[in-house]
Amino acid sequence: MLTTLAQEAANAATGTATSDPLIEQLTQRGVDIAINAMAVLAILLVAIAVATWVRRWVQRGLMKVHFDATLSKFFAQLAKYAVLVMALIFCLSKFGVQTASLAAVIAAAGLAIGLAFQGTLSNFAAGVMLLTFRPFKVGDAVNINGEVGSVDEIELFFTYMNTFDNRRIIMPNAQVFGAKIENMSHHPVRRTDVPVGVDYSADIDKTRETLLAAVKSVEGQAPDKEPAVVLSGLGDSSVDWTVRVWAPAADLFPVREATIRAIKYYLDEANISIPFPQMDVHFDNPVAPPADAVTTAANDGAAA
């Protein structure tokens, strides 16, 4: 009996002695993890702030030396992502992750990652192609997939546009590069065509002279391009003309509006009317009203 009690007391003492270091070890491990987690959080917050500052600093520095605006924004974003990636690798090392083995794992899982991020990678590749072949640059007025606006920024994955009515359009680069792109700012001088319809009774030569005088009175045209007045067709209710005027790309819409205004005033002064669509209906064989309808109308008249 006494021997058994002595053995139990010894076992209890041994268990207590071995459990205390285990608890201390777990506690120390938890404290280390908490400290590392707070350090990682602080590093990420600082990295985000530094990455934002680096992006602005790179973009401003490139713009000061008159570097291309499109590539300036691209390299600024690239510098931002580089800072964030380095911060992420440093944070992983705080938890004991070996960066060399991590690179090997990523390389081994490249096929799976490529399949999972197929759309993202295609956007990245399209972004590189847009920056390489340069179908447009920041500030150009473009028409992409039916969306008309001014290019604000070209990033690695998306292209940002601002429409002329102040809407924000964000398009994946894969859709941009694979679509029909109309760059309306590529040429410094553009032409606008104004259709005009006049009455059939108007004299052809007088109409031409009036339209030429009207378009030549408009200011802001391209000095090395002559305007033209073209007889374009004979419509259903009008003789159709096209007034062609050239203007700098930045002044195209004001010049077009001024041209339309001048045409209206000059045509009114020359007493040349602009017809409105109309239709004449002729009855070759008028149908007589039914006899019952005639009788009913006569009876109604007699009763009245």
Q: What is the per-residue pLDDT across 195-240, written as a single tens digit (0 to 9) for each?
A: 999 999 999 999 999 999 999 999 999 988 999 999 999 988 899 9
Edge-to-edge order in the sheet of strand 239-248: 189-198, 239-248, 228-234
Give residue-wise pLDDT tens across range 22-59.
677 767 677 777 777 787 788 888 888 888 888 888 88
Residue range 110-129: mean pLDDT, rounded: 71
* pLDDT score for 124: 81
Residue 244 backbone dihedrals phi, psi, to 5 degrees: -110, 125
User: Given 3-state DSSP classes, what are the helix, strand and coil percentages for the chain, each rounded to the nearest 5?
Assistant: 55, 15, 25
The answer to whether 257 and 216 are in contact (CB under 8 A) is: no
Name the phi and psi angles at 245, rounded to 5.
-135, 140
Predicted local confidence at residue 116, as pLDDT? 56
Residues 6+ apart with CB under 8 A from 66: none
Confidence of residue 155 (pLDDT cuts 50, 70, 90): confident
pLDDT for res 232: 93
Task: Please name each of the domains of the chain with its CATH number.
Answer: 21-107 (1.10.287.1260), 136-183 (2.30.30.60), 187-304 (3.30.70.100)
Euclidean distance between CA atoms 279 and 286, whole angstroms: 18
Share above pLDDT 70 across residues of the chain, in percent, rounded to a whole number: 74
Convert the pLDDT of each residue in 102-119 to its tens digit. Answer: 566 666 656 565 655 567
| pLDDT at residue number 58 | 83
Instruction: Provide mean pLDDT across the span 109-138.
Output: 75
Which residues lie closer than 8 Å to 72 by C-beta, 6 or more apart?
A: 58, 59, 62, 63
CA distance 51 to 59: 12
- Report the C-alpha gap between 144 and 10 in whole angstroms: 84
Q: Which amino acid is at 160?
A: Y
Averaged over 240-265, what is the pLDDT?
Answer: 94
Q: How confident is the model at residue 257 (pLDDT cuts 50, 70, 90)?
A: very high
**Given the structure tokens 């640059």, which residue do they identify?**
137
Instruction: Tell me which H or E stretch contains 240.
Output: strand 239-248
Cα–Cα dist 144/86, whole Å: 36
Spatial contact of 155 and 127, defined as CB atoms under 8 Å apart:
yes
Can you tell me whether residue 281 is helix, strand or coil? coil
